[in-house]
């Protein structure tokens, strides 16, 4: 092997090593959240009294579960339906996103339905599909009452279809 070839191989090896040293932390930063399970946590969305029985209320929600670079996309909303004053079936918490292509659904209290403005998807008040292109009911999130406050479990969607 000539001196020139040896030098070229040495430079190539050094360049590869430097690229590895610089690239590994970047790859780890980008792929780490995909590999690491997302920690679930409950988020306080307000006092239980804020949600009158028989009504469906929009709640702004900062979801701590998305990837760190989600930015404003982590600021989302939920529909909280209060069915009863208390008990295990007191609430239903729906993702605001339509199960067709993810547009935010609107609650129409007069008709008692959720309506999706994008392609005309319609859901009944319990989140089941009433019509249009969606095939699945609205995604539901787990909830619990802690003291006098309602807490929602943040989780990557899709989550549960009904509270266990
Ligand atoms: S996104 Fe809702 S019907 Fe298509």
Q: What's the pLDDT tens digit per position in 65-111?
A: 666 666 777 788 899 999 998 888 899 999 999 999 989 999 999 99
The whole-model pTM stands at 0.73
pLDDT of residue 135: 94
Identify the residues whose C-beta falls under 6 Å from ligand 1: 98, 100-101, 103, 116, 118-121, 132-134
pLDDT at 162 over 70: no
Handedness of CA 96, 100, 102, 104 (dihedral sign): negative
CA angle, residues 127, 131, 135, in degrees to nearest 5: 70
Question: By alpha-carbon position, which residue is closest to atom 1 of ligand 1?
Answer: 101
Task: Give the integer Cα–Cα distance in Å for 142 and 160.
Answer: 7
- Residue 120 CA: nearest ligand 1 atom is 3
CA nearest neighbour of 40 among 149, 137, 156, 139: 156
pLDDT at 164 over 60: no
Q: Percentage of the chain with pLDDT > 90?
A: 65
Task: Give the integer Cα–Cα distance in Å for 128 and 34.
Answer: 30
Strands 113-115 and 149-154, by their bridges, are unpaired
pLDDT digits (tens, 9 = 90+) for 21-50: 999 988 887 787 677 766 678 889 999 999
Which CATH code of 3.60.15.10, 1.10.10.10, 3.40.50.300, 2.102.10.10 fits the domain covering 41-154? 2.102.10.10
pLDDT of residue 122: 97
Q: With bands split at pLDDT 50, 70 and 90, how would you rate the model's confidence at 158?
A: low
Domain ranges of the chain: 1-36, 41-154
Pocket test for ligand 1, best of 101, 105, 136, 137 (most atoms within 8 A of CB): 101
What spacing in Å lies between the alpha carbon of 139 and ligand 1's midpoint? 14
What spacing in Å lies between the alpha carbon of 126 and ligand 1's midpoint? 17
What spacing in Å lies between the alpha carbon of 134 and ligand 1's midpoint? 6
């Amino acid at each position: 092997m000539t001196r020139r070839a040896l030098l070229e191989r040495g430079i190539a090896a050094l360049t590869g090593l430097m690229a590895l040293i610089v690239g590994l932390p970047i790859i780890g930063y980008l792929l780490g959240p995909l590999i690491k399970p997302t920690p679930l946590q409950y988020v306080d969305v307000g006092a239980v009294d804020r949600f009158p029985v028989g009504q469906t209320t929009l709640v702004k929600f900062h979801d701590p579960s998305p990837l760190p670079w989600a930015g404003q996309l982590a600021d989302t909303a939920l529909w909280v339906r209060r069915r009863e004053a208390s008990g295990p079936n007191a609430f239903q918490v729906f993702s605001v996103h339509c199960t067709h292509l993810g547009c935010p659904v609107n609650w129409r209290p007069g008709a008692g339905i959720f309506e999706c403005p994008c392609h005309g998807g319609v859901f009944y008040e319990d989140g089941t599909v009433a019509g249009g292109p969606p095939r699945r009911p609205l995604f539901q999130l787990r909830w619990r009452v802690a003291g006098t406050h309602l807490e929602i479990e943040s989780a990557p969607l899709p989550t549960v279809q009904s509270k266990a």
